[in-house]
């Protein structure tokens, strides 16, 4: 039997399962053992269970990461729009990137020849003269 377990370990995609999968694996093992399932079949069921659970965990982690990045982007956008200093931020789906440092706003704009132009945005001061 140890040789069969070593064969599982020698496979390319073998990885040690996460500790958080242990309760589900133990429950599956106990259920199958009570039903009288042979050990090799239980090992196969456990491998399938671990693969499914790892995929589910990977998808959940990826969704959390995407949500975190989107929240971070929205926070940077709000900082820029409110006038606070912020790092390089892309507004909505604009091709331009904006940054505010020491109260000055800068814009990076892509060019057709795959370069970037840096501009400092200056607020125009409108003065109204009384006639």
pLDDT per residue over 27-55, tens digit each? 998 998 899 988 888 888 888 998 899 99
More confident position, 67 or 4: 67
| 19 has a pLDDT exceeding 90 | no
pLDDT of residue 127: 55
Q: Check residue 123 and give its pLDDT.
A: 73
In this prediction, what percent of the chain has a pLDDT beyond 70?
A: 81
110 contact partners, CB below 8 Å, separation of at least 6:
95, 96, 116
| Cβ-contact 85, 101 below 8 angstroms | yes
Please state the φ and ψ torsions of residue 37, each to the nearest 5 degrees: -70, 140
pTM: 0.62
């Amino acid at each position: 039997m140890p040789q069969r377990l070593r064969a599982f370990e020698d496979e390319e995609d073998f990885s040690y399962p996460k500790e958080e999968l242990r309760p589900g694996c133990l429950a599956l093992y106990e259920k199958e053992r009570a039903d009288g399932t042979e050990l090799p079949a239980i090992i196969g069921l456990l491998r399938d269970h671990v693969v499914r659970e790892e995929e589910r965990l990977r998808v959940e982690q990826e969704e959390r990461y995407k949500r975190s990045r989107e929240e971070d982007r929205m926070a940077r956008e709000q900082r820029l729009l409110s006038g606070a200093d912020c790092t390089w931020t892309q507004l909505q789906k604009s091709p331009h990137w904006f940054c505010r440092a020491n109260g000055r706003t800068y814009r990076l704009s892509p060019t057709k020849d795959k370069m970037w132009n840096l501009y400092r945005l200056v607020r125009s001061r409108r003065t109204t003269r009384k006639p």
